[in-house]
Amino acid sequence: MSRKMLLNVIAGLGKEIAADLTKDLSVPQAKHYTAYINRLFDHTMSDGKCARSQLALKTYQTLAPSACTSEESILPVAKVSATLELLQSFFLVIDDVIDHSKMRRGKPCWYTMKDVGLTAIIDGLFLDKAIDYIIERNIPEHPKKYQILKEIFETNRKALVGQRMDCDTTALKEFSWTRYNEIVEHKTSHYSYYLPLIMGFHLADVSLSLPALRPIAYKIGYLFQAQDDYLDCFGDPLVTGKSSNDLAERKCTWITCKLLENLGAHSKSNPDTSHIVKKFDDHFGRPEKEHIDVAKQIIVENGVESEFFTFQNKIATELREDIDRFPLPEIRSVLNNCVNDIMNRKK
């Protein structure tokens, strides 16, 4: 099922949810909130890449090809897969409020819209709570329904921890590859790759012990997040469709961790670079353009921008080797496509 078809599924889900949740309201209130819910879905979910839902659906189709004879036959599965886009939008709506972001997917963030503001938090929670409703409604008798719901609950828990760590890690002395890896696993890798893959397995009712799946999914997510960090610093906002905030918000990213590694910031044996670290720290976390420009110049002068591409190719090579050893041959192409889809991306 293509991205366009999944977007149609998502639009239909918005209408279904609006109709059901407003059925007990008076006619004027039902019309008002139906329009608001449709506007919420249209603004926060209509321009996504649908990468996560497509991954879940592709995994399902690969493992259960006989069940995919027509679009109608896979529609319930497509709707469940589409809940990953609700989860993604929930995270992004809340994240944009926390980070004071201005742009998302090429348009103003939801919370910046007239008459929304901080009530965007309620709207984000609404998207999250709609997930259980969609799953219960579309696969009520599925043998793995509760495993799917459990996986989503676990993903929410991990993402909450990751968000807290992301917000708390602002002092350079706290920046390390260990801390960064923990943030990425909890905030990005688990819900972006592991959850869609394991959801596809559950939807296909495939029960296998595949311990290699999680580390591969997490490594793909690590590469994906590192790319996001690079694009936040060096990408074109007109192409990425979102504002650049990491330097202004003092985020622990691949860029900042690599800079500190290159400068030996946590080593007493590199006193010659301490003045560079101090200069970076003085400008890091200040939103004015002149401060961001100085911080970015230090990053470039210390080789971080050029080293990123070496890192990207190295991780991609390791991933392809890991995937070649994955014990389920039919899933190898799905995993390889995950890597190919994000290599050298611009947004």
> For position 72, what pLDDT does the model report?
80
Q: Name the CATH topology of 3-342.
A: Farnesyl Diphosphate Synthase (1.10.600)
232, 246 in Cβ contact below 8 A?
yes
> For position 334, what pLDDT does the model report?
98
In 3D space, the residue among 41, 30, 216, 268 whose CA is nearest the CA of residue 134 turns out to be: 41
> Whole-angstrom Cα distance, residue 145 to residue 152?
11
Give 267's pLDDT tier (boundaries 50, 70, 90): low
Round the average pLDDT of the chain to a whole number and report it.
93
- Provide the whole-model pTM: 0.93
Whether pLDDT at 69 is above 80:
no
Q: How do residues 198-249 score in pLDDT, each as one tens digit?
A: 999 999 999 888 899 999 999 999 999 999 999 999 999 888 877 778 999 9
Single-letter code of the amino acid located at 322: D
Question: Could you tell me the end-to-end alpha-carbon distance of the chain, in angstroms, rounded to an integer?
Answer: 22
Whether pLDDT at 2 is above 80:
no
> Whole-angstrom Cα distance, residue 269 to residue 340?
40
> What residues are paired with 108 via a beta bridge?
103
Q: How far is CA 209 from the centre of its chain?
A: 26
193 DSSP 8-state letter = I
Could you count the other beta carbons within 10 Å of the beta carbon of residue 345? 14
110, 96 in Cβ contact below 8 A?
yes
Whether pLDDT at 68 is above 80:
no
